[in-house]
Amino acid sequence: MAALLELRNMTVALGRSETAKVILDDVSFSLAPKEIVGVVGASASGKTVLSRAAVNWLEPPLTRRSGTVLFEGRDIYAMKEADMRALRQRVSYVGSNPMGALDPTLPVGAQIVEKMRAVMPDVSRRQADDRVIALLDAVRIPSARSRFHDYPSQFSGGMMQRALIVDALVTNPAVLVADNVTQPLDVTVAAQVIRLIKELTDQFDTAVLFISSS
């Protein structure tokens, strides 16, 4: 099958100088539609840098020295701002720091609804609320309808990680990049979260780049 997301000969260094430390050295992989690709490596081996490079989200001092990423055959490093914004709806990223990922001053549900409606302006407020509540329920957030109104600080770590999976999948992306999502969780919750990602991505035909340190 043609690749959906393809990383080609990616080399990333810590800075621009020729002597800068190389973090990724000529890394390539491809992800087909609906495929799940796993990346396993020790801590500090470059997994987060790889997953950020895959979504064009490297920040200084991390510098792409060579290589590129194609999404549906288009070079994401050559995209204009508007195309990049559209890409963010098709390629979602979930990291391992759930507490820092949402705005602490706004309720969890409202933030996810806002993201969904930014992408899908034809969806009414009411429909968006209902869909987000249904998804919060699907990731087994207890009393989803009332938790929808909670602020991020009122969620436990495991609940927040699950809410972020909802946040990542609410726009129905073609690709989910899941970077160490189970790292902050105890093994039982981690196993549930993995099962949920599998169920939801099966349901929505999402391809997954699943990154884990063990």
Binder of residue 113, out of ligand ATP, Mg ion, none (CB less than 5 to 8 A by kind): none
Can you tell me which residue has the tokens 């969806």?
123
The reply to whether 48 sits near Mg ion by the rule CB under 5 A is yes
Pairing of strands 36-40, 62-71: unpaired
Question: In the stretch 161-200, what mask flags binding to Mg ion with x, by CB under 5 A?
Answer: -------------------x--------------------
Which phi-psi region, left, alpha or beta, contains residue 127 (left: φ > 0; alpha: ψ -120 to 50)? alpha
Per rule CB under 6 A, is residue 92 in the interface with ligand ATP? no
The structure tokens listed for 211 are: 């990154």
Q: Which is nearer to Mg ion, 108 or 185 (CB)?
A: 185
Q: How far is the CB of 59 from Mg ion (least distance, A)?
A: 14
Least distance CB 9 / ligand ATP (angstroms): 18
The CB-of-41 to ligand ATP minimum distance in angstroms stands at: 5
11: which strand partners? Answer: 66
By CB under 6 A, is residue 46 in contact with ligand ATP?
Answer: yes
Count of CB atoms situated within 10 Å of the CB of 160:
23
Shortest Cβ 42–Mg ion spacing (Å): 10
Residues contacting residue 101 through CB under 8 Å, at least 6 positions apart:
94, 95, 160, 164, 167
Region near ligand ATP per CB under 6 A, out of 38-46, 102-110, 123-131, 202-210: 38-46
What's the alpha-carbon Rg for the chain, to the nearest Å?
17
Looking at beta carbons only, is 112 or 193 nearer to ligand ATP? 193
Cβ neighbourhood burial of 73 (10 Å; 0-12, 13-18, 19+): exposed
Q: Write the CB contacts of 193 (distance below 8 Å, at least 6 apart in sequence).
A: 158, 161, 162, 165, 181, 182, 185
Compute the least distance from the CB of residue 97 to ligand ATP, in Å: 10
43 contact, one of ligand ATP, Mg ion, none, CB 5-8 Å limit per kind: ligand ATP
Task: Give the strand pairing for 175-179 and 207-212.
Answer: parallel
Residues lying near Mg ion in the complex (CB under 5 A): 47-48, 180
Residues lying near ligand ATP in the complex (CB under 6 A): 14, 23, 41, 43-49, 61-62, 180, 213
